[in-house]
Every structure is written in C-alpha cells, then in structure tokens.
Structure 1
Amino acid sequence: MKPSPAPRALFAGLPFAVAALVTTAVHTALRDRLPDPMATHFPGSGPPDGFSSPRSFLVVGLLVLIGTGVLFVVAAVWQRLGGARSTVVLGWGTAGLLGSVSVSVLRVNAAVGDARDVRMPWWHLAVAAAVAVVVGGVGWLLTRGWPRAGAVGDATGGTSLALREGERAVWVRQAGSWPLALIGAVLIAAGLVATVLGGWWGLVLAVAGVASLAFGRVQVTVGPGGLVVAQSGLPWPRVRIPLEQVESASRRTISPLGDFGGWGYRIRPGATGVVLRAGEALVVRRTGGREFAVTVDDAGTAAALLNSLVARKDGPC
C-alpha cells in the first residue's frame, strides 16, 4: 500500500481527533463534580502548585492536542513514504499519552471537593505510558503495509579521489544553521533580561541559548581516522565513524522533513543524521547497512576522499 498525502494526513491526525473527543466527553461527564479552580500541575507526591478553571483546562488541552496533531500531519505529508510511517506511529503514541494524562487530571480532580487536596498517584502516569505504547502499537499495525524507509536523500553515484602511494589527505568543513544561531541569540538575550529582573528561569533560557549556538554549528572532518562530526569548539558530543566501519560514501541531496522529519540530530529507521539545513549532504553507508548523513558543503569531495581511504584502508594512509 502506497498512501497518498490525504490518507497520510488522515492517519496522522486521527488519534489526536479521537483524544480530543474523549477528553471533551470525560470533561462533560465530570463537569458538575470538578472544583473551580481545579488542580492542573503536580510537582510530585505533594500538593498541586498550578490551578485553572475547568473550562480553561479543556480549552488549553484541546489546543495542545490540535496543535500537536497539526505538526504530525504536516510532517507525515512532507516526508517520504518510508519515513512517514515512523512519524505516524510516533504521533499515535503521543496522542495516547496526551489524552490519557488529560483524562487522569480530570478524574483526580472530580474525586475531591477542594483542589488543594488533589493528588496525582504515580500509577496514573504508568497507565498513561502504557496507553501510549498500546495506541502507538495500533498505529504500527494499521500502517504495516506502508513502504519501509529507504535510502537517505536523492542518491548520486559515489566517486573516489586518486591518491598516490603514501599520500595523506584530510578534508575539513564547517556546517551551520543560521536559524539555530538566531534562536540561540534570542534565548540568551531573553535569559539575561529575565535573570536581571529576578527570574531564576532566565538562566534556563540562557543555557538553552548557548546550547542552540553550540549545536547549531559543527565541524566535519574526513581523514585517515574516518569521519568525525563534532560540535564546533566543544569536545563532546561528537560522531566518529572509523574507516573499518565505512562501506561507501556518496553526495546526496537531503530534505530535512522528507528524509528525517525535522532538523538537528535525527534518528529514523535505517539511518541517523546531523541535519542543519536542506541541500547537499555527505552520506556514509556503514558496514552494518545503516546510513549516516551530515549536511555540509562540498560533500562530493568528502565522499570521494572517504571512498579512496576506504579502498586502501589495509595499507598506509
């Protein structure tokens, strides 16, 4: 079965619609027993520390479900067929989790007369996790006829460089994402302002901004040691694929949504990748069959050098 964009959109959005209907039905059934305001945030085993009116809780919950559902629908439609199945299954599990948590909040509030006495037992969260697994499994079963994820990107033939005996060569390039850099700068600025105004959470924003700046730029190196992708200026995290684990390399054209369902460090069936933008990428096929992709300029030269190094890996590099 090769579903067109319309069925993919239906499959991706259906569980969120069902979760919204179930949440609304439970809210309607318990409406007369819900305290006003009701408890909506639970820090742990202690008393709640967040409250809202029952109506506000329902409206916000439905907006979260609908907004999340729209994101999964867009991702499923834009992705290639193989990757769309993973997105749909993840969406089904997410809808099950969100819907189950919303129902639990309504039920624990309806069981008491005063919102300050509400507690969220741990087993409610365990049930929510179980519901997510079951609903995700249903999504997996319903899409089992969809094509499996194929090769990353639009493949081009792999080439190699002519290296003389004993000649050594290293290829190094920087790759970055200006949207991540912009987001990082905004978060740092907002965090500093919030910290000055007395908000401790401003430090969280600032740290998130620094992380966005750091992870938004990587250095890609191809040499006798294989392929290394490292965060610029940071010793960790990094990806290293030694020559012994490389089967072949090629330059391909990557679509972040189409091939990986988004940007950043991505994992999908049969492949992982550091995807900072659309366009050309170095794609390495590992000896185990999995592929690794990193979006970077001049990827053709990097692939050719890596193929040459692999071809003579048993000799001097």
Structure 2
Amino acid sequence: MNAGSFRRALRAATVVGVAAPMLIIGIAVTLTLVWIPRLPDPMAVHWGLDGAPDGFGPRWLTPAMAASIGVLLVGLSTAFWWPRRRGSMHGVWAPTHRFMAAFVLGNVTFIEGIAVGTAVLQLDQVEAAGAGGIWGVLGLSLGLAVAAGVLGWLCQPAVEVTAGESSDAAPIELGSTERAVWLGVARPRPAFVIVMTWLSVMTLGAGIAMSMSGPPVGLILIAVALLLAFLMALTSWFRVRVDASGFEARSWSGWPEFRIPLNEIERVEVRDFEPFAEFGGWGLRWAPGVTALVLRGGQGMKVVRKTGRAFVVTVEGADRGAALLAAELIRANERSEVAENER
C-alpha cells in the first residue's frame, strides 16, 4: 500500500514540479525568441519603483534569463525535494514534498510571466524607454503564479508515507564491570557544504557590490551572509558520544550542546531518517515532541526521554552507538533492581 501510494505521489509531483514548469519555460523562451526581431535594441530589462524602465540590455537577454533562471530554479528545487532511496523507489513522502512541487510551479509561472509580459510591453516599440509601466505585468504574473501553485497542490494526491515504526536498538553484550564508549561524528554531506558556502559567498559579494553604490540593502545582505556563515560553522559538525553517563551531542565549538543523562532515558531506537520529509529540512530542527540534529539523511538514533520527548541524530554507525546505549540502560536497570532488593 505504501509503495503504491509513494509512486503515485511521486508521479504527480514530477508532473507538477518538473514537467509542467519545464513546459512553461519552453513556451516563454520560444515566444521571446520569436519576438526578437520585433523588440527594440537595446530593450528594457529593468524597471524602477515608479514603474518606468531604468535598465537596458541586448534583446537576447530576455530569453536567456527566462531559460537560465527557470531551469536553475527547477533543478535546485528538485534536488531538495526529490526522494533519495538507494535500490528502491519506495521512500518517505510528506506534505512538504507536495508543497515544494506546487511551489516550484508557482515560482516558474511568475518568472516566465514577467519575461513574456515585459517583452509584450515592448513589441514593435522603436525605443525601449517608451514601454509601458510594469506594475500590470507584475500583478498579472503574481495572480497566475498563485493560481498555478494552488492548482499544482490540488492536482497531487493527499498522500503521506511514513518511514515505518522505529525499532528498539538491540543491546550489545556488556559485562557488569565492563566499560565502553562510542564516538561518532554528525556532519553534512560535502555537496550541502559546497552549496551553502556558495550561497554565503554570492550573498556577501552581492552585498559588497550594492553597498558601494550607497543603498542600505547592501549592508543588510552583508549581515545576512556573515550570519549564515557563522550559523553554518557552529552547526555543521557535532561530536556524538555514548557511554555510561548517557548521550551527548556537542558542536566542535562547544555550543550548542545536547546532553541526556542515562537516568532520564526511557529507550533508544534506530532507523533511517529522511530530514526533508520528516523535519522539513536539514540541520537543527524542532518539531512537536522532538529535537532533531539531522545534517544528512540515512541511519540515525532516536533517544526517547522518560518524559516522552525525543532527540534524533543522524550519524554514521548509529546502530552501534544505539546498541551501546541500550546495553547501558539494561545495566542501569539491573543495578536499580539490585539496590531496590537490598533495601
């Protein structure tokens, strides 16, 4: 049942979030290419806050931007929501996937609507400066984008496929006086670091360039870039430790730090986690009843407190760490029983 539902949802999302946007991009690029002989040269490519053209460029720039921005948006967005399951097309599916496919369709509709609309404003114009205001194009494009997004959402089935129930970790054999420790490292995949670094550098570069001309927007972009780099540095590498004292996940800088003493732990579970589907993204995430340190998808452990709240971490070798923690829980319970009987 879950496998069939997953494939049905994936097919619908592929049509809504990939095929339909690419079709819209193709139509927009074709129209703007066909219209090139009827457009002024140079043509208006930017409008000011008063709605009048204030930036100009070659006629081929409109179809080039329509193609590059649209395809880049579809590619990057698909890379985030497309399920990654090795050896199987069955995976986790959540409303987040459905939303992202509809969101991509809406955004592409908006971008391509602006490209086509600004070209229509300049058809058969001798001078680009004589083109009309852009506010009508923006309003129409926004309306079409919202309609496309809503339609894209409704065209997809309301399917939710979970990862299945977690299984309690099987404890390793541990003697009554034997001491053991497990160490792991929670870190993102290299591709994620590269993308985030690229975004930070591009934002910083744009901020520096804009600040040279005076507007405060440039300073805001610089601050955002520095904050993004700072947060990524603090939360991209954690040491995970399991021993007789309990569970610990600590950033390389010492903060943030998450500690769960052994006497507060009810049980430990282990399974594969899908950060995007289950927590809406990667990194430090909060959801009702759970705190998650999910820097990558794959195997992870879920430490459940006696209060019912849980902590999830995805880390290589999580099965071994969970097995040791389960063994320490058993040993702690045995010690408690012995102490209770001696009273």
1:206-262 Cα deviation digits (max 9, x unpaired): 765554433321355789xx98866542756x889999x998541223466787787
For 2:287 and 2:59, the matched residues in 1 are separated by 39
Query: Hey, what does 1:215 align to over in structure 2?
Result: 235
1:158-181 Cα deviation digits (max 9, x unpaired): 46799xxxxxxx998652236279
For 1:53 and 1:299, the matched residues in 2 are separated by 56
For 2:136 and 2:286, the matched residues in 1 are separated by 30
Unaligned residue ranges in structure 1 (runs of 5+)? 163-169
How far has the Cα of 1:150 moved from its partner? 0.6
Q: Which has the larger radius of gyration?
A: 2
How far has the Cα of 1:275 moved from its partner? 2.8
1:93 matched to 2:107: no
* Counterparts in 2 of 1:50 and 1:295: CA distance versus 1, 3 Å: farther
Query: Hey, what does 1:177 align to over in structure 2?
Result: 188
Unaligned residue ranges in structure 2 (runs of 5+)? 174-180, 212-217, 337-343
TM-score (norm 2): 0.57
How far has the Cα of 1:123 moved from its partner? 8.8
TM-score (norm 1): 0.60
Match of 2:113 among 89, 92, 103: 103
1:12-48 Cα deviation digits (max 9, x unpaired): 3222123214424663686566443334455755766
Equivalenced residues, count: 300
For 2:259 and 2:48, the matched residues in 1 are separated by 40
2:235 alignment partner AA: F
Query: Hey, what does 1:141 align to over in structure 2?
Result: 154
* Counterparts in 2 of 1:298 and 1:180: CA distance versus 1, 3 Å: same
Query: Hey, what does 1:151 align to over in structure 2?
Result: 163
* Counterparts in 2 of 1:43 and 1:248: CA distance versus 1, 3 Å: farther
* Counterparts in 2 of 1:233 and 1:248: CA distance versus 1, 3 Å: same
For 1:288 and 1:139, the matched residues in 2 are separated by 41
8 A Cα contact 2:265 2:305, kept in partner: yes
1:16 alignment partner AA: P
How far has the Cα of 1:88 moved from its partner? 4.3
How far has the Cα of 1:151 moved from its partner? 3.0
Q: 1:155-234 residue pairs with structure 2 within 5 A?
A: 155-158=166-169, 174-177=185-188, 179=190, 183=194, 209-219=229-239, 231-233=251-253
1:143 alignment partner AA: Q
How far has the Cα of 1:100 moved from its partner? 1.6
How far has the Cα of 1:264 moved from its partner? 3.8
Q: Secondary structure at the match of 2:82?
A: helix
1:18 matched to 2:37: no
Q: CA RMSD in A?
A: 5.8
Q: Secondary structure at the match of 2:167?
A: coil
